[in-house]
Amino acid sequence: MTLTRERIVLAALELVATHGYGGTTMPMVAATAEVSTGLLYQYFPSKTDLFDEVFRQASQREIDACAAAAASESGAGERLAAIIRTFAHRALKRPRLAWALLAEPAAPQIDEDRLRFREPYRAIFVTVIEDGIDSREFRAQNAHTSAAAIVGALAEAMIGPLALGVLSKRAAQRVVEDIVALCLAAVLDHAASAKRGQGTKAPVPPSAKETP
């Protein structure tokens, strides 16, 4: 990516983070990036092309942050909670950008990318869930199905008042912890945890890791 193109994308990203897709215009981007409108259109023939690149870069940053949270050496449950908190807290830090990435009405091209960019999140959760199954921390389950359900629940819970930043900081934090508790409750092996607490290890069923 050339320096000029990168400057344009970064300028557009900051404007979208403040005004959303609908409130950001090509002349605004050109002025912020300190390029002419004509030069802007040489790099991005349409607003959709520019916003799609903004979406891709911004989404990849969030994916990278979640992957880093998943890479710790703690237990699977702690890692799963860390991913969710990372996703949610980053969204709360820049709520207008979170709304743009998650749900703001946009061109069909961006809607298609929203679906594609869920897959890396699912892959991160699959790895953690499978690790939890191996360690007997999580119950036997289809890791792919559970990961998809968690990604869907997380995105849905962040849409609306939470993503738009209209909740108080305390209320938003409560919502985040509710999401963490819900997702952990869905995957934890509660029976095995109780048995381990009594000094007995729960067996791992042969079907602990099912394929989709």
Spell out the residues 6+ positions from residue 208 whose beta carbon is closer than 8 angstroms to its own. Answer: 133, 134, 140
| Residue 8, token pair as written in the block | 């344009």
pLDDT score of 47:
96
| Residue 91, token pair as written in the block | 């969204």
For 118-137, the pLDDT digits (tens) are: 999 999 999 999 999 999 99
pLDDT score of 68:
97
Query: Do 204 and 139 contact (CB within 8 A), yes or no?
Result: no
**C-alpha–C-alpha distance, residues 110 and 126, integer Å:** 25
- Where helices occur in 44-189 by DSSP H, the ranges are 47-70, 76-93, 95-102, 108-116, 118-134, 143-158, 169-187
For 136-151, the pLDDT digits (tens) are: 999 999 999 999 999 9
Q: Indicate whether 11 pLDDT > 70.
A: yes
List of long-range contacts for 142-148, beta carbons under 8 Å, 24+ apart:
142/210, 142/211, 142/212, 143/209, 143/210, 144/211, 144/212, 145/212, 146/186, 146/187, 147/122, 147/123, 148/122
Residue 17: which pLDDT band, with cuts at 50, 70 and 90?
very high
Query: Do 125 and 150 contact (CB within 8 A), yes or no?
Result: yes
pLDDT score of 161:
81
**C-alpha–C-alpha distance, residues 151 and 157, integer Å:** 10
| Residue 164, token pair as written in the block | 């738009």
The pTM for the full model equals: 0.86
pLDDT score of 163:
77
Q: Indicate whether 30 pLDDT > 90.
A: yes
